[in-house]
């Protein structure tokens, strides 16, 4: 049995798993963000609530493990930032612990139980508040020790002209310290920023995508340029990784018509010729962070 945890800045979701198709959610609890001792006690409380003591703890988290130092980089949960989290939790809980990025766990969930089932290379992407991604090869994470594989949202590669007719697009500054990253326009806040630049209107991303679905000219122009901007770097990622399926999660994935439009634009830009969808909606019904953490833990501990 594996204890799977999905740890975000606001809540910790928990589940226990005996098999990939036997994952039982246990509910959620508020994340202690600034007190590491309280963070550990919260995990001990979850362990105590399990039907029996697990073999290991597997964690999906809103952060990245530095592959050279092993330390966490996690702004949303300050009490774990900079820590050797897996080693410290292993000592505190008395169980083996593995930790992976939440976008990586999303990709792992889609590869194992979702849209990527049966595919050798799965590139799972998140279009939410921002942009993220994870790469799974033969049902295992490409970056098993941590690192940034799959993070297509951060590189200065956006075009500065897009749409038909073309319009100039500035390289907006990114939270990572660079400018022109996919993340600056690819997520919900990016759509709002792009719409403001193009139309001068301050509109919520949901209003923009609804307007697009309803034929609103300004919203339609924004979303056409949005698809043009992010399709090129996504196609590049597909060419580099050889992914045969790209499941999409996050709030933007639910925008009517977005995934088919993005799929068409990406397939027109890649080397491989496909007569089936490549960019598809995520299909994993259960929380993908929990599922990915469970699959990771089962692979590393239960079946090792």
Report the DSSP pairing between strands 279-281 and 246-249. Answer: parallel
Find residue 26's DSSP bridge partners.
Answer: none
**What pLDDT score does 174 carry?**
92
Fold for domain 2-105+285-302?
Nucleotidyltransferase; domain 5 (3.30.420)
Pick left, alpha or beta for residue 163 (phi over 0 → left; psi -120 to 50 → alpha; otherwise beta).
left
**What pLDDT score does 303 carry?**
60
Omega of the bond leading into 109 within 30 degrees of 0 (cis): no
**What pLDDT score does 304 carry?**
52
Domain boundaries of the chain, sorted by first residue: 2-105+285-302, 119-281
Q: What is the spatial order of strands in the sheet that 2-7 belongs to?
A: 22-30, 11-19, 2-7, 56-61, 97-101
- Name the one residue in this structure whose structure tokens are 């292993």: 90
Q: What pLDDT tens digit does each residue of the chain (304 aa) get?
A: 999 999 999 999 999 999 988 999 999 999 999 999 999 999 999 999 999 999 999 999 999 999 999 999 998 999 999 999 999 999 999 999 999 999 999 999 999 999 999 999 999 999 998 999 999 999 999 988 888 899 999 988 899 999 999 999 999 999 888 999 999 999 999 999 999 999 999 999 999 999 999 999 999 999 999 999 999 999 999 999 999 999 999 999 999 999 999 999 999 999 999 999 999 999 997 889 999 999 999 999 876 5
* Other Cβ atoms closer than 10 A to 40: 17
**What pLDDT score does 147 carry?**
87
DSSP, residue by residue, 18-38 = EETTEEEEEEEEE---S-HHH
**What pLDDT score does 248 carry?**
98
H/E stretch holding 141 reads strand 140-141
Q: What is the value of pTM for the model shown? A: 0.94
In whole angstroms, give the CA distance from residue 146 to residue 163. Answer: 37
Report the DSSP pairing between strands 72-73 and 64-65. Answer: antiparallel
Find residue 179's DSSP bridge partners.
Answer: 173
| 2-105+285-302 and 119-281 agree in CATH topology | yes
Which of 94, 123, 121, 91 has its CA nearest to residue 107? 123
How is residue 289 written in tokens?
């962070």
Pick left, alpha or beta for residue 147 (phi over 0 → left; psi -120 to 50 → alpha; otherwise beta).
left
**What pLDDT score does 286 carry?**
81
Fold for domain 119-281?
Nucleotidyltransferase; domain 5 (3.30.420)
């Amino acid at each position: 049995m594996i204890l799977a945890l999905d740890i975000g800045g606001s809540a910790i979701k928990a589940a226990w798993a005996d098999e990939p198709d036997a994952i039982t959610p246990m509910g959620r609890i508020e994340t202690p963000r600034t007190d590491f001792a309280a963070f550990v006690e919260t995990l001990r409380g979850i362990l105590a609530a399990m039907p029996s003591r697990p073999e290991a703890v597997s964690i999906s988290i809103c952060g990245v493990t530095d592959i050279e130092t092993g330390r966490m980089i996690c702004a949303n949960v300050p009490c774990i930032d900079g820590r050797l989290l897996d080693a410290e939790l292993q000592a505190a809980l008395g169980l083996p612990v593995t930790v992976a990025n939440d976008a990586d766990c999303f990709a792992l969930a889609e590869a194992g139980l979702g849209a990527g089932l049966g595919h050798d290379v799965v590139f799972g992407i998140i279009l939410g508040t921002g942009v993220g991604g994870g790469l799974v090869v033969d049902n295992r994470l490409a970056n098993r020790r941590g690192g940034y594989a799959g993070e297509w949202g951060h590189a200065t590669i956006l075009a500065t002209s897009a749409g038909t007719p073309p319009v100039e697009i500035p390289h907006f500054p990114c939270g990572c310290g660079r400018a022109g990253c996919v993340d600056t326009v690819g997520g919900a806040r990016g759509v709002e920023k792009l719409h403001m630049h193009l139309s001068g209107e301050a509109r919520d991303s949901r209003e923009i995508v609804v307007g697009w679905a309803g034929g609103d000219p300004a919203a339609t122009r924004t979303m056409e340029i949005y698809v043009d901007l992010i399709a090129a770097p996504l196609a590049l990622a597909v060419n580099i990784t050889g992914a045969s399926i790209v499941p999409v999660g996050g709030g933007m994935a639910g925008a009517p018509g977005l995934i088919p439009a993005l799929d068409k634009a990406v397939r027109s830009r890649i080397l491989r010729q496909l007569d089936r969808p490549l960019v598809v909606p995520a299909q994993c019904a259960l929380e993908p962070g929990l599922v990915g953490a469970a699959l990771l833990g089962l692979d590393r501990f239960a079946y090792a």
